[in-house]
């Protein structure tokens, strides 16, 4: 199924674990997220969440709305936003403190569109951060040059620091032996860091 948002990938479970480990800091935070488990967890922990997936995937957006209803989150907005595309919905987004993205870095042809959108959102919200988990699929894939190009920096977050280095995380066999990493992306400072 090309509509990846209808499946709970291992990275979503790991990012949800990070949110759960930081649940006390989430009430009142403004969060932009995909349609996956982490956004729902953030909303259940008291964050003000806006969920999104590509406007070209209406099935994923409908599925996410059903998930919100099933999780007693009927007022969580679900928007069609596409990486790399400036749209009225993107321009009208309310301010955010945290952007969540689980396993968005899976196809190298999309890396720059993702980082363009993240840069746009971080420029509008300079103190915000992009929390992302990704599965290492190839040693040849890297976003380092693109981070530099878009004046972004990343900080790796060790999985053991939030108890996400376990097999069968949260009762799920999904994380298992997958090589998953987490990083926080933010704007580079003007002093060159």
Contact in structure between 128 and 187 (CB atoms under 8 Å): no
User: For residues 135 and 166, what is the distance between their CA atoms, to the nearest angstrom?
Assistant: 15
Q: What is the pLDDT of residue 6?
A: 60
To the nearest whole number, what is the mean pLDDT of the chain? 86
**pLDDT per position as a tens digit, 116-135:** 999 999 999 999 999 999 88
In the chain, domain spans: 10-135+168-187
| Residue ranges, the chain, pLDDT below 70 | 1-7, 168-178, 190-193
User: For residues 13 and 19, what is the distance between their CA atoms, to the nearest angstrom?
Assistant: 10
Q: What is the pLDDT of residue 9?
A: 75
42's enclosing H/E stretch is: helix 37-44
Nearest to 47, CA basis, from 26, 17, 69 = 26
CATH number 3.40.50.9100 is the correct assignment for the domain at 10-135+168-187: no
């Amino acid at each position: 199924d090309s509509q990846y948002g209808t499946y709970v990938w291992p990275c979503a479970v790991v990012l949800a674990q990070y949110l759960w480990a930081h649940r006390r800091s989430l009430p009142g935070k403004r969060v932009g997220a995909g349609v996956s488990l982490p956004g729902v967890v953030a909303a259940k922990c008291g964050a003000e969440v806006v969920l999104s997936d590509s406007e070209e995937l209406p099935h994923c957006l409908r599925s996410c709305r059903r998930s919100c209803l099933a999780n007693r989150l009927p007022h969580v907005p679900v928007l069609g936003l596409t990486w790399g595309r400036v749209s009225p919905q993107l321009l009208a987004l309310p301010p955010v403190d945290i952007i969540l993205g689980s396993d968005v870095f899976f196809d190298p042809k999309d890396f720059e569109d993702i980082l363009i959108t993240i840069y746009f959102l971080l420029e509008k919200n300079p103190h915000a951060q992009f929390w992302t988990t990704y599965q290492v699929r190839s040693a040849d894939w890297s976003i380092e040059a693109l981070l530099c190009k878009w004046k972004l920096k990343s900080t790796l977050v060790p999985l053991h620091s939030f108890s996400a280095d376990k097999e069968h995380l949260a009762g799920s066999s999904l994380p298992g032996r997958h090589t998953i990493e987490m990083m926080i992306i933010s704007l580079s400072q003007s002093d060159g860091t």
